[in-house]
A = this chain, B = another copy of it.
Amino acid sequence: MTDLATRVWNHRWKIDPIVRSLIDTDFYKLLMCQSVFRNKPQTQVTFSLINRSKHVPLAKLIDEGELREQLDHVRSLSLTRGESTWMRGNTFYGKRQMFRPDFMEWFENLRLPPYHLERKGDQYELTFEGNWPEVMLWEIPALAILMELRGRAILDRMGRFELQVLYARAMTKIWEKITDLRDLDGLRIADFGTRRRHSHLWQDWCVQAMVEGLGDKFTGTSNCLIAMKRDLEAVGTNAHELPMVYSALASDDAALARAPYDVLADWHEEHSGNLRIILPDTYGTKGFLDRAPDWLAGWTGIRIDSGDPATGAETAINWWKSRGEDPREKLVIFSDGLDVAKIEELHRQFSGRVRVSFGWGTLLTNDFRGLVEDDALAPFSLVCKAVAADGKPTVKLSDNPEKAMGPEDEIARYKRVFGVGEQEAMEVVV
C-alpha cells in the first residue's frame, strides 16, 4: 500500500535538495566555527571553489539554474530544535557542553550568507564573502552540492535497472574493502568523506556498512547529521583554514612565522585530550615541528594530510623522541587520499610504534571509479578554500606542491619565512 499523504508530499518538492540540514557537515567545521566565533568573529574572509580537476567541465555538466536552486535551499536552512538539542546535550570526545551557550544561540539564529556564482568558460566561479564564522560554513555544503549535481548529470541518462546495478556494483566494491579491513588487528578508522561524497544517502549507507562490517574498529563519522541519526561518534579536530587565515592576517614576517603556533595556542586553551591534534603541513611539516614550542610536543597526536604519509609519520616520531616524548603514547591520524592498500600498508608499518588511526574520505564515500563509461562518475579534486582574509590573500604550501595555493609572490615569501626548500610533487588522488 502506498501512503497517499507521503506520495503527495514528495511530489510537492520543487527540487530534490542535496543538503537538508546545517549539520550535514563535518564536525570539525563546527568546532573551528566556535573557535573562530570566539577569537576572530569580525574577520572578513573570502572562500572560493577551486576545481583542481580541469578536465571535469562543471559548467557544462551542471545547469546553473539547478545549482542556484540547491545553493538557495541551503540558505533557507536553519538549525532545528533536535539538532540544537543534540549539539548542546551530546557528549563529544568525552566532553559535555562542547558547544558553549553563546555559540549555540548564535548558531540557532544563523542563515548562511549570500553566494556569488558566475560561469567562466566550462567552470563555475563560486565565492562566499563575509564574517569568517558564517562564510566558513559554506565549504562543505558547496562541495557536496557540486559533487552530487555532477553525479546526477551522469545518472540522469541511465535506465532504472542500469541504475540499480550501478549501486549494486558500488555497494559490492565498498563491502569488499570493508571485509579486507576487518582482518586488520587493532584497526581504528573513521569516515571523513562528507565533502566529496557521491551523495548524502550514499554516505549514510557507507557509514552503516562500516558499522556492521567493522564493529568497534569503526570509530565514528565526521558527518554530524549521520552521527546524530545513527547514534555514532562525531569526529574531527581542525583544518588548514585556521593557520591560513591567521597567517594572512599577520602584519609582518615575524608575526607570520608565529601565526601557525598562535592558532594552536588558542586551540590549546580551548581543547584537551584527543582534540589536541597537530595539523603540521600547512607550511611544511619538517620546519613546523623543528620550530615548535615544547608544549606542542605534549599534544596527543598529529594528522598527516599531504606528502608521503610514511615519511610524515617518521618525521613526527623522530620529533617526539627529540622532545623526550614516547611515540607509543602518541596518535598519528592518516587522512590523505586513503584506500585499502595504503591503509593496510600504513597500519602494518606503524602499529605498535605509535597509536594509529585513519580518516577515510573520498574513496570510502565516492568510489564510483570504473563503473560507468568514460569513468564519468570517478571522484575528482574539488576544494573550497579561504582565499583571502581582511583583504589579504591566503597561502598554503602543504607537503605536496601540487596542493599549494596562493599568489606566486606570496608563496615565495611564505617559503622564505617558513624555510621550505625543494618539495616532492605527488599526484593528488582526490
Contacts and interface: CB of A to CB of B under 8 A. Distances in A.
A169 interface: yes
Contacts of A160: 212
A9 to B, nearest CB: 8
Contact of A172 (B3, B6, B159, B165): B165
A254 interface: no
A183 to B, nearest CB: 15
Interface residues of A, number: 22
Given A169-B168, A172-B172, A161 B6 contact: no
A208 interface: yes
Interface string A150-166: 00000000011110110
Interface in A1-15: 1-3, 5-6, 9
A212 B161 contact: yes
Nearest to A178: B161
Interface in A126-184: 159-162, 164-165, 167-169, 171-172, 175
A337 interface: no
A383 interface: no
A159 B167 CA distance: 19
Contacts of A169: 168, 172
A172 B170 CA distance: 10
Contact of A168 (B159, B171, B212): B171
Interface in A334-361: none
Contacts of A161: 175, 208-209, 212-213
Contacts of A167: 168
A367 to B, nearest CB: 14
